[in-house]
Amino acid sequence: MRREPTEQEIRDQRMYVKFGLTDDEYARICTRLGRLPNYTETGVFSVMWSEHCSYKSSRKHLRRFPTQGTHVLQGPGENAGIIDIGDNLAVSFKMESHNHPTAVEPYQGAATGVGGIIRDVFTMGARPIALLNSLRFGTLDQARTRYLFSHAVEGIAFYGNCIGIPTVGGEVVFDARYAENPLVNAMCIGLMTHDQIATGHASGVGNPVLVVGAKTGRDGIHGATFASAQDPNEKERSAVQVGDPFMEKLLLEACLELIATGRVVGIQDMGAAGLTSSSAEMASRAGSGLTLDVSRVPCRETGMSPYEIMLSESQERMLVVMKEGESAIAEEIFAKWGLEATVIGRVTDDGSLRITEGERVAAELPIAALVDEAPVLDRPAVRPAYLDQLNVAPVRLSTQGDLTGDLLALVAEPTIASKEWVYRQYDTMVRTETLVRPGADAAVIGIPDSQKAIATSADGNGKYVYLNPRQGGAMAVAEAARNIVCTGARPLAVTDCLNYGNPEKPEIFYQFRESIDGMSEACEKLGTPVISGNVSFYNETGGQDIYPTPIIGMVGLLEQAERLVTSAFKRGEGAVYLLAPKGQAIRDGLGGSAYLAMKRPDEALSYQLPAFDLDAEKAVQDACLALAEAGVLAAAHDISDGGLAVALAESCVQGSVGLAVAVTIAPDDEQEVLLFGESPSRILVQVRAGQEKRLKELASSFLVSFLPLGAVAETDRFHITLNEKTAIDAEVSALRDAWRGAIASWMN
């Protein structure tokens, strides 16, 4: 066995720097302990005080999120949040990033991201019922991007499909900004009854502490530190883990069975920083202490040191505290599933984390120092200069455009094109409760033996946040909620995954801080508290940072599943309307739009976003929801990337119907804004046959406008007339082929 460096060597050779600790932090640790930390202790501190575990850059700002609500059963701070959906039922959900591992080993990196988020949810006592993922990659003309993208998707599919949880939604954006720093954010939703709620508390002096699940190996040591390192390619390569969804499936069943016995005191998944963070956090929440003997931890490899065992990030493991004398129940249940459950220590009341190897004390650290006293930084934020150089957005790009050609090209832009190439690799139907599969605004999942269903969506637009951090943050929340109301569901709560560049740059930190304020305001206004989330910084390579990319995962509730509305236009139903803020169906130019990026790539980041108003957004969403609940809607579809024309095309393609739209606008030269502008807060609706009168009655009670657009047709023609002149005339089948085939044509 290699000799571990001594306390003095660590200090004299500044070895702690390699662990990711600064001189300052190391000095603080020495002062706090009143002595020099040994090798294991230095390792434990370094992961607990890493950005990934301590949230040292973000903690202060995350407090501004609204987290309260009458339906919130568990807010941020646990493995996942929980909301009440009535009838003694609750849903638990959370989103998490696995960006850095994916950049190095896309298949396993993405797969283990899914595995981690599933564990977060079932530790709460919930049975996972749905997965979503939000992805960002470079552009598909790069072979490296195609490699990362295809392997990440395959890894996500591998894990979710094998474990038997349907992957029902997500989003994918391709932009050169993400070429070196792809983003993989995975979200999991679980279902439970109120009495099944479990938490990560290590309480009750003398209670046994168990490691359950997979054996511990040397994989992923220092993964947490690595997640915070600036150059993922330079970091320790051993930090990549391999996922075993089969093991996780067994672990899931065993844990739920164990929690159902009522003998579990606390349970927590071992994610980043493995045994170290799970034990410290569980003790911290309960205000207790722990003593753990690492020689009892079942290991996959021989000769593992306490340091390695404490820092291993081997997957598919949990830490469980049982009631005193009840550990045999855990052993029995786990044995049935072919798994190990091993007592490795006890709960104490001395507030310290004591790690022994047999009799020898390997580390002894105050839990408060590891968790509560972790550094909280007040990073400087400076408004980036580019924000003040943005111009007022143009309303027109071409003097004599071929708008039909533009639409066909736009629907074939990979970011806008159908993501079928992705989600047909996911088992979207297992559990036989998926009522709306991927391809619509939000997925809808039925609640077994109930009239209820939940709707869910993951959304974010980094370019918007880049162009206007505060407004962009609010718009991400608004879009997620709009996707939910388009199904007829009422938005309930939010999980977030905040992906940013290097927080040490004041301009990046400004983006972070401002966008949090924007998201907070929107969550407040829309009544959707944040119940869980995750932060990923240092998405930066060679000085280039990603767009600030907060992703919002939202869950909403449909009381009557049969009332659900889909985005496909339907034959034999009524007219199509544009639901928009009063007097503002069209406004503010092409800033931030996919159309601008396609036509004038060099100017894509030169213009301001269209204005956004939260009150107007709320009015539009309330109107949509009221119409859905009144049974007036045959279809509803949110207008987002690509604007009105793309949204109309999508609803036609999904319903296999034609369309004849005729609109009068003034002034005449705002055609492109009307067709392709990305003004927020707009929803396309198709009214049910014979319900137009009801629509008008209801509409007048909301402060919104209903602009009649036209009617669905039995033909293959997609026809838009503006001011009595044909603006777009395409075959629906041509739009469909362009939209559906685009990503596949890059990938084959």
Partner 1 sequence: MNFIASIRVTLKESVLDPQGSAVVHALHSLSFTSVSDVRIGKYMEVSFHADDEQTARAQVSRMCDQLLTNPVIETYSFTLAEVRE
Partner 2 sequence: MNCAVLQFPGSNCDQDAVKAVAGTLSLKADLVWHETADLNAYDLIIVPGGFSYGDYLRAGAIARFSKAMQATVAAAERGAYVLGICNGFQILTEAGLLPGALRRNDHRQFRCDMVELEVVNGATDFTRAYEKARVTIPIAHGEGNYYVDDEMLKRLEENQQIVFRYASEQSPNGSVANIAGVINERGNVLGMMPHPERAVSERLGSTDGISLFRSILTSWRDGHAS
Ligand X SMILES: Nc1ncnc2c1ncn2[C@@H]1O[C@H](COP(=O)(O)OP(=O)(O)O)[C@@H](O)[C@H]1O
Tokens of 370: 């590891």
Nearest residue to 103 (alpha-carbon basis) of 239, 213, 205: 239
Interface map 439-478 toward ligand X (x if CB under 6 A): xxx-x---------------x-------------------
Is 157 near partner 2 (CB under 8 A)?
A: yes
CA distance 659 to 649: 9
CA distance 118 to 95: 10
Task: List the catalytic residue out of 52, 151, 637, 719.
Answer: 52
Tokens of 77: 């701070």
Site for Mg ion (CB under 5 A): which residue of 74, 356, 483, 534? Answer: 483
Decide which of ligand X, partner 2, Mg ion, none touches 641; Cβ closer than 5 to 8 Å per partner kind. Answer: ligand X
Tokens of 578: 């544009």
| Amino acid (one-letter) located at 164 | G
Please calculate the CA angle 285-498-743 and round it to the nearest 5 degrees: 135
Is 435 near ligand X (CB under 6 A)?
A: no
CA distance 96 to 118: 10
Residue with smaller CB distance to Mg ion, 646 or 663 = 646
Contact 41, 496 (CB under 8 A): no
Site for partner 2 (CB under 8 A): which residue of 219, 244, 514, 588? Answer: 244
Residue with smaller CB distance to partner 1, 219 or 540 = 219
Q: In which residue are the tokens 């003095």 written? A: 8
Binding segment toward ligand X, per CB under 6 A, in 88-96, 137-145, 163-171, 672-680: 163-171
Residue with smaller CB distance to partner 2, 426 or 547 = 426
Tokens of 409: 């090209």
Site for ligand X (CB under 6 A): which residue of 25, 41, 96, 171? Answer: 171
Q: Determine the length of the chain.
A: 748
Is 123 near partner 2 (CB under 8 A)?
A: no
Is 161 near partner 2 (CB under 8 A)?
A: yes
- Start-to-end CA span in the chain (Å): 49
Is 441 near Mg ion (CB under 5 A)?
A: yes
**Chain positions contacting partner 1, by CB under 8 A:** 104-105, 108, 143, 214, 217-219, 237-238, 240-242, 244, 246-247, 300-301, 314-315, 338
Is 169 near partner 2 (CB under 8 A)?
A: no
Is 717 near partner 2 (CB under 8 A)?
A: no
Is 638 near Mg ion (CB under 5 A)?
A: yes
Decide which of Mg ion, partner 1, partner 2, none touches 426; Cβ closer than 5 to 8 Å per partner kind. Answer: partner 2
The yes-or-no answer on residue 100 being catalytic is no
CA distance 221 to 235: 11
Task: List the catalytic residue out of 61, 98, 222, 719.
Answer: 98
Is 566 near partner 2 (CB under 8 A)?
A: no
Is 316 near Mg ion (CB under 5 A)?
A: no
Nearest residue to 513 (alpha-carbon basis) of 611, 390, 378: 378
The yes-or-no answer on residue 98 being catalytic is yes
Is 260 near partner 2 (CB under 8 A)?
A: no
Burial grade of 662 (CB within 10 A; 0-12, 13-18, 19 or more): middle
Site for partner 2 (CB under 8 A): which residue of 303, 338, 542, 543? Answer: 338
Site for partner 2 (CB under 8 A): which residue of 203, 230, 342, 425? Answer: 425
Is 617 near Mg ion (CB under 5 A)?
A: no
Q: What is the helix (H) or strand (E) element at residue 59, kind and residue range? A: helix 59-62
Pairing of strands 167-174, 127-137: parallel
CA distance 265 to 322: 5
Q: In which residue are the tokens 């939910």 written? A: 484
Chain positions contacting ligand X, by CB under 6 A: 133, 135, 167, 169-172, 419, 422-423, 438-441, 443, 459, 483, 638, 640-641
Which residues have a catalytic role annotated?
A: 52, 98
